[in-house]
Amino acid sequence: MLDTTDPTPAIEEGAGLGVLREVFGYEAFRGEQAAIIQHVLAGRDALVLMPTGGGKSLCYQVPAIARHRAGRGVTLVVSPLIALMHDQVGALEESGVHAAFLNSTLDGDEARQIERELLAGRLVLLYAAPERILTPRFLAMLDSLHERGLLSLVAIDEAHCVSQWGHDFREEYLGLSVLHERFPGVPRIALTATADDHTRHDILERLQLQDARAFVASFDRPNIRYTIVEKVDPRAQLLQFIRDEHDGEAGIVYCASRKKVEETAEFLRRQGIAAWPYHAGMESDVRKANQDRFLREDGLVMVATIAFGMGIDKPDVRFVAHLDLPKNIEGYYQETGRAGRDGLPADAWMTYGLADVVNQRRMIDDSPAAEEFKRVQRAKLDALLALAEGLDCRRVRLLSYFGQASRPCGNCDNCLQPPAAWDATEAARKALSCIYRFRQHSGLGFGAVHLIDVLRGKATDKVHQHGHDRLSTFGIGEDLSDAQWRGVLRQLIALGHLASVGEYGTLELTASARAVLKGDASLMLRVPAVPVATRKARATGRTKAVPMPLDELAAGRFVALKAWRAAIAREHNLPAYVVFHDATLAQMAREQPDSLTALAGISGIGSKKLQAYGPQILRVLQEAA
């Protein structure tokens, strides 16, 4: 335990920054990183709330390295996903940091070898899943380290897994409080991208982190452009979006169901896009193979359910597309946050329509959950619907949901092409009163398609059959198109004035419809956007496979560097980004360093990589010249 008689040397102020520059080759900390790292270096507990892609890993990796150098021993990293440990450890080893994982993919000899490294105090970081950590054998090893002052720090990644509120709940996380009880003097840092109060409260309580300092980083991801479009023909819209903006680039397409995942992947493949499916219903080895391929190969599209993504730290995902509406803003933000971790321009794109609103509402209504829980779910869905329907800056809404004030961003669809609004009060009243007349007329309710037919005065069989051509509301909505009416209905449902119930989606008035019917509430709605023309040549000037502005010669060097990187990655059995990020290669291509000293100045090259790869890189640059 650390006290005043502690023989280990104190850790100096600048140790963290020194490690950042030397090991990772980065110039400066981002945002809260500096304060967090200082706090943990000093041996205190921390709870870190940072958006996906915000830079959480360094918050424990830098202290782990600095503390190990000061004789404090190993940092234990609790991580829920065995499948990803290999690449995380590979990335550290590439940077010259001695790290390892212990999990069921190792054979007995490999595991024993790592245990020896661990017990000898040579390992800097050890990754393991909670179920492993909680075994008597593992705890006994930690005891041994602790007795010798060699258990430096415990980092609990994806800490929201301890909370039943999120969809990532993992029973085994509940057992982790034993680490605190057993090793009270060892500092702990818990990290998550989930920011709602419930989850945060659960983390503090269940991991016994009540005395930890909470660091809440800015949730803004300025390089991500948010776009939400009306669903017309979602597949065709998706295809156009990928072709126009992200041809040949890596992306994730989220769908709500397994079937839709399969169908969409198949559709994209037929259109010549390298897309693969991923969902929990697939054979686990096929699923894993698809995930590996996505991580390792360039420019693949992963079509997935939300089962895919946690812990995926591939930095060059250029877009995240949603074909279905997520459940809430937390989900949307977490999923879209997987785009652009490398800080380069990326897109979060979603299609959204009437059926999404209806389905999500119904899913909550039909669930067997307690009423209290449903109420929370409904409120969360409402916030997401308000985001989708909103006329103002998407980012301002997102950030304000996380309690952070901001100004219009200039990098979302609403900022870039302010949508026109129209006064839909009258149209809404027509729709609502028509629904009212249906009931009055025959006691029956009807769905959206029929309602729109009646409003537009179409003499369909069904209209005749029910005598709806005799209603006073027949044909009162001829001035609007089908699509416009669907928009009105969608927005009325989103706003809670209408409910779509039962198997056939019968439309029913809710209590709040009265105010609209009486003309007490006015309604400003988005003008349904005409599908946006291609924005390919937008300001960033990006072209295929070069995610940032580079002149022609530099682009040639970039491509040469990528080819070299691919060979190294294959040789080391690691994803290419673990060797170097695109941003690092692009800077090399642009600045053309001609000496090791010049190369050392590029962001993302630490001393180990400079030594291991420097001469080769200089050669590639020369040959490409």
Can you give the binding site for ligand ADP, defined by CB under 6 A? Answer: 26, 29-30, 33, 50, 52-58, 313, 315, 341-342
Which of 230, 330 has the CB closer to ligand ADP?
330
Q: Which stretch binds Zn ion (CB under 5 A): 389-397, 399-407, 460-468, 532-540?
A: 389-397
Residue 501's SS3 state is strand
Which of 251, 443, 228 is closest to 324 using CA atoms? 228
Which of 81, 532 has the CB closer to Zn ion?
532
Residue 296, number of CB atoms within 10 A of its CB: 19
Strands 46-49 and 188-192: what pairing?
parallel
Residue 443's SS3 state is coil
Residue 58 interface partner, choices Zn ion, ligand ADP, none, CB cut-off 5-8 Å depending on type: ligand ADP
Q: How many residues bind Zn ion (CB under 5 A)?
A: 5
Q: Does 387 bind Zn ion (CB under 5 A)?
A: no
Write down the least CB distance from residue 398 to ligand ADP, Å: 17
SS3 of 19-88: the string is: HHHHHHCCCCCCCCHHHHHHHHHCCCCEEEECCCCCCCHHHHHHHHHHHHHCCCCEEEEECCCHHHHHHH
What's the rounded Cα separation, in Å, for the pair 255 and 561? 35
Write down the least CB distance from residue 157 to ligand ADP, Å: 8
Which of 56, 225 has the CB closer to ligand ADP?
56
**Token digits of residue 269:** 């493949």
Residue 575 interface partner, choices ligand ADP, Zn ion, none, CB cut-off 5-8 Å depending on type: none
Residue carrying structure tokens 């493949």: 269
Write down the least CB distance from residue 317 to ligand ADP, Å: 11
Residue 125 interface partner, choices Zn ion, ligand ADP, none, CB cut-off 5-8 Å depending on type: none
Which of 234, 251 has the CB closer to ligand ADP?
251
Please check whether residue 56 is in contact with residue 159, taking contact to mean a CB–CB distance below 8 angstroms: no
Write down the least CB distance from residue 250 to ligand ADP, Å: 14
Interface with Zn ion in residues 67-106 (CB under 5 A): none
Residue 341 interface partner, choices ligand ADP, Zn ion, none, CB cut-off 5-8 Å depending on type: ligand ADP
Residue 393 interface partner, choices ligand ADP, Zn ion, none, CB cut-off 5-8 Å depending on type: Zn ion
Residue 80 interface partner, choices Zn ion, ligand ADP, none, CB cut-off 5-8 Å depending on type: none
Residue 512 interface partner, choices ligand ADP, Zn ion, none, CB cut-off 5-8 Å depending on type: none
Which of 500, 584 has the CB closer to ligand ADP?
584
Which of 313, 413 has the CB closer to Zn ion?
413
Whole-angstrom CA distances from 37 to 20, 67, 178, 208, 343 are 11, 11, 24, 20, 21
Write down the least CB distance from residue 50 to ligand ADP, Å: 5
The distance from CA 218 to its chain's CA centroid, rounded to whole angstroms, is 15
Q: Does 348 bind Zn ion (CB under 5 A)?
A: no
Interface with Zn ion in residues 400-429 (CB under 5 A): 409, 412, 415
Q: Residues with Cβ < 8 Å from 131, sequence gap 6 or more?
A: 172
Calculate ∠ Cα 177-108-129, nearest 5°: 25
Residue 395 interface partner, choices ligand ADP, Zn ion, none, CB cut-off 5-8 Å depending on type: Zn ion
Q: Is 524 exposed, middle or buried (0-12, 13-18, 19+ CB in 10 A)?
A: exposed
Residue 342 interface partner, choices ligand ADP, Zn ion, none, CB cut-off 5-8 Å depending on type: ligand ADP
Which of 415, 596 has the CB closer to Zn ion?
415
Write down the least CB distance from residue 48 to ligand ADP, Å: 9
Which of 399, 431 has the CB closer to ligand ADP?
399
Q: Which stretch binds Zn ion (CB under 5 A): 28-36, 250-258, 392-400, 616-624?
A: 392-400
Which of 415, 521 has the CB closer to Zn ion?
415
Write down the least CB distance from residue 375 to ligand ADP, Å: 31
Residue 571, number of CB atoms within 10 A of its CB: 9
Q: Does 395 bind Zn ion (CB under 5 A)?
A: yes
Crossing angle of the two packed helices 371-389 and 394-401, in degrees rounded to 10: 160
Residue 423's SS3 state is strand
Beta strands in 269-413 (DSSP E): 275-278, 301-304, 319-322, 346-352
